[in-house]
Amino acid sequence: MEGFVCSQYWKRYVSTILLFVATLYSTSAVTHYSVPEELEEGTVVANLAGDLGLDVKTLVDRKMRIEIITNRKYLDVKKETGELYIVERIDRESLCPTKTSCYLKMEAIIENPKRIFYIELEIMDINDNAPHFRRDTIDLDISEATQAGERFSVSNAVDPDVGSNSVKTYHLSESDFFTIEIQTGRDGSKFADLILKNTLDREQQAVHYLILTAVDGGMPSRSGTASIIVHVLDTNDNAPTFEEESYQISVMENFPIGNLVFHLNATDLDEGSNSDLKYSYSLYTSEKTQETFNLNLNTGEITVKGVLNYEDFNIYDMEVIANDKGANSLSGKCKLKIVIEDMNDNHPEISIKSFQSPVNENTEVDTVIAVVSVSDKDSGDNGVVDLHIPDNMPFKLRESSDNYYELVVSEPLDREKVPEYDITFTVTDRGSPPLSDNETMTLELLDVNDNVPQFPLSFYTIRVMENNAPGALLSSLTAFDPDLHENQYLVYFILEKEIANTSMSMLFSINPENGNLYALKTFDYEIENEFLFHIEARDSGSPPLSSNVTVHIIIVDQNDNAPVIVSPWRAHGSVVEEKIPRSTDKGSLVSKVIALDTDSVHNSRITYQFLQVTDATLFSLDQYNGEIRTMRMFSYRDPRHQRLVVVAKDNGEPALSATVTIKLSTVETAVKAYSDMTEVPLEYDIFSDLNLYLVIGLGSVSFLLLITILVTIVLKCQKPKHSKAAAPCRNSVISDRNSSIADSTLVSNDAYWYSLFLAETRKGKMVVRQPVPKGSRYIVSSLPRGTGLTDTSDSAASTLQV
């Protein structure tokens, strides 16, 4: 048993030894390949199966594979062909960044039996990288005192490629001051030293810009660049200089203390502390100059320190030194001459010798108001002076003697336009610049009564409603007088004028102090409807001045008179009885109602209408002329008596009216009814001579109208005897204003009387105008047709009082 175990152990040991020897034999052979980097994917490197002596047909069954000792699988084998190909691009610089030579080691493994083949793939470098500098810009500070031949190190360029593909040489851009020298390091790397060829001057060129180029040895070659900026450091090698060696300036005397006279400006081409300057007076500058002018040590500004007076000292000489603040201070100097010029430094003077104020506004032209003298302490043109006053004043200056002037009136004065004048006397010398002085005097004007009172309007129209209360304020007529004091106080009064033998002072009154106009009585439009008179305003000056204004008083009508029915005539409160044949035709004139209203045209416009009518279908009434006509013929059913109530209404507010009752009786007769005023006379005996009476009536009316007009004119020209019992009366039915009555068909008094005459004549009566008795407005007389005109006054005519 123990021998069997030993036998088995040796068998295993021998097998292991044989396998190791076989494996060692098989692995001891390494297959080498060389390929350039950056081959494309899929590129075949070699026929691995052929190189290893393997049957291509068995590669799949024996599971041939490639194991690479890296983190990435760059190559693989095609089992169908046995070819080794590129799976991923190979970058030598990434795979072997620090090595000159680069190898990729792999193992080709097959099974059944298992064998391992070692493969070594050399990655060959190509020139795929350009040289580059660690810094794109290289800054160098070099003093302008550096000697030529001095070396300066600059950073070298690097190239990841190796061998001939690495940096081979350097080039420097063209420069008059710098060049390079190429050096080789122990590791074979190339670098360049910057060498100063010529001495630098910062004042000529403070900065130098160079381009350093590194070139490798590849084919084709690649290159990289870096900028070299050389800053030239300053040294104190330039002395301060002034723009000019000497200056001369002029300054007016009395130049204000502290004001700038001149600014010295020295320059130093150096920089920093080497160009900072400090100014000072040299020992050749006098103490008087240093006391009069101040020199700013830092800015070089020269300002006034003391009073400059041309009469005391007129020229100042000084020498100024400028030193820089460098380690070895350098200096420069200049000379300055300041000339003081004389100036017009004395103001002219003005003196009022005489001045008269106040003066009357009617002072005559060329009257002397003031005497003025002027003077100036300067000499030459600076001492010549001119005196003037404002141009927009009614005064002028007149030179009376040397430097003496008189102020006289040049235009008429008017206190109402300008009550006072502020006269400014201005004296100016002829220096440069000119100096002046002025003095203002106030001239007051005294008022004289040279303005008449003025009303705002030249004509006043005042409307007054009739039936006004006595003492009522009608208007305020106020005048204005631009004068002062008593010349301005106004008194108002009415200029006496008689109208219809009546004085205006009995009708109107005016307040003498304020011009308020009052009515002294109640006015009646129907008696008098307008007044025209004058009001005078007089001031209290000496002599007094006055003006007047025309006042037109218009009495405005009120509807205060009711219509009066004058036809058909009837006794007061009685019924008018009329007779009419029953055979009257349709449209025949039955009667005509005529009413009068003494109010104005608008208020006296009268309309007529039925208030009561027995049969509304039988009669019609014209609302404008008052004519009553039949609307149809009478029938046997119509009552024999018809009662008509007619109302006459005016157009006022409120409207006033009057009524008349007409009782119509129909008669059985063969007489033909008249249809209008122009028809033939009725066949009654009383109308047999109608035409004759019409002519006589018309002639009588015209004659009476003429007599009435003549009597009215005579009465107007005579002064009436006033009595308490007497009341205003008229001689005719219609008022003096000659207005028309309400009936639109009547346009004058004669028209009315003619219409009334025709209406009454149809009834066998004559109508005449008679004088108006005391207490009556109108008298209408109706006479029987048979009476003559000469019997008018003796007849027992009925009278209608209105």
pLDDT score of 408 more than 60:
yes
Q: For residue 156, name the pLDDT band (cuts at 50, 70, 90).
A: confident
Cα gap 328→273, rounded to integer Å: 11
DSSP state letters, 589-638 = EEEE-EEE--S-TTTT--EEEEEEES-TTTEEE-TTT-EEEESS---TTS
pLDDT score of 687 more than 50:
no
pTM for the complete prediction? Answer: 0.40
Please give the mean pLDDT across all residues of the chain.
78
Q: For residue 500, name the pLDDT band (cuts at 50, 70, 90).
A: low
For the segment 158-162, the average pLDDT, to the nearest whole number, is: 81
Lowest mean pLDDT among 91-95, 236-240, 647-651: 91-95
Q: CB–CB of 306/315 below 8 Å?
A: no
Higher pLDDT: 765 or 397? It is 397
pLDDT score of 245 more than 50:
yes
Q: For residue 299, name the pLDDT band (cuts at 50, 70, 90).
A: very high
Higher pLDDT: 534 or 57? It is 534
Say what the pLDDT of residue 573 is. 59
Token pair in block for residue 606: 């009268």
Q: For residue 292, name the pLDDT band (cuts at 50, 70, 90).
A: very high
Q: Exposed, middle or buried by CB within 10 Å (0-12, 13-18, 19+), for 402? A: exposed
Q: CB–CB of 766/783 below 8 Å?
A: yes
Cα torsion 682, 685, 689, 690: sign:
negative
Q: CB–CB of 121/103 below 8 Å?
A: yes
DSSP E strands in 167-239: the ranges are 167-172, 178-184, 190-196, 207-216, 223-233
DSSP E strands in 385-525: the ranges are 385-388, 395-401, 404-409, 420-429, 436-446, 459-465, 473-476, 490-494, 498-499, 502-503, 508-510, 516-519
pLDDT in tens, 118-129: 888 888 888 888
For the segment 295-308, the average pLDDT, to the nearest whole number, is: 92
Q: For residue 258, name the pLDDT band (cuts at 50, 70, 90).
A: very high
8-state DSSP, 524: -
Alpha-carbon separation of residue 213 from 132, 218, 228, 356 (angstroms): 9, 15, 11, 104
Lowest mean pLDDT among 16-30, 32-46, 438-452, 523-537: 16-30
CA torsion, ordered 645, 651, 657, 660, to nearest 10 deg: -30
| Helical spans, DSSP H, in 195-286 | none
pLDDT in tens, 519-565: 988 888 888 888 899 999 998 888 898 999 999 999 888 888 888 88
pLDDT score of 767 more than 70:
no
Q: Which domains does the chain have, with CATH numbers?
A: 31-124 (2.60.40.60), 132-233 (2.60.40.60), 241-341 (2.60.40.60), 349-446 (2.60.40.60), 459-556 (2.60.40.60), 564-667 (2.60.40.60)
Say what the pLDDT of residue 676 is. 41
pLDDT in tens, 350-382: 999 899 989 988 889 999 999 999 988 776 788
Q: CB–CB of 133/157 below 8 Å?
A: yes
Q: For residue 33, name the pLDDT band (cuts at 50, 70, 90).
A: confident
Say what the pLDDT of residue 389 is. 92
For the segment 702-728, the average pLDDT, to the nearest whole number, is: 66
pLDDT in tens, 171-191: 988 988 999 888 887 777 888
Burial 441-453 (b: 16+ CB within 10 A, else e): bebebebbbebbb
Q: For residue 720, name the pLDDT band (cuts at 50, 70, 90).
A: very low
pLDDT score of 383 more than 60:
yes
Q: Which residues contact 15 (CB under 8 A, 6 or more apart)?
A: none
pLDDT score of 2 more than 60:
no
Residue 391, CB-side half-sphere exposure with 13 Å CA sphere: 0
Say what the pLDDT of residue 693 is. 64
pLDDT score of 645 more than 70:
yes
Q: CB–CB of 735/598 below 8 Å?
A: yes
Of 342, 337, 333, 336, the C-alpha closest to 383 is 342
Say what the pLDDT of residue 380 is. 73
For the segment 230-241, the average pLDDT, to the nearest whole number, is: 86
* Percentage of the chain modeled with pLDDT above 70: 82
β-bridge partners, 473: 518
Q: CB–CB of 512/491 below 8 Å?
A: yes
Q: Which amino acid would we find at residue 500?
A: A
pLDDT score of 274 more than 50:
yes
Say what the pLDDT of residue 405 is. 93
Cα gap 517→468, rounded to integer Å: 14
Of 130, 175, 179, 132, the C-alpha closest to 155 is 132
pLDDT score of 153 more than 80:
yes
CA torsion, ordered 215, 217, 219, 225, to nearest 10 deg: -10
pLDDT score of 769 more than 80:
no
Say what the pLDDT of residue 718 is. 62
Token pair in block for residue 59: 């590669």
Q: For residue 785, name the pLDDT band (cuts at 50, 70, 90).
A: very low
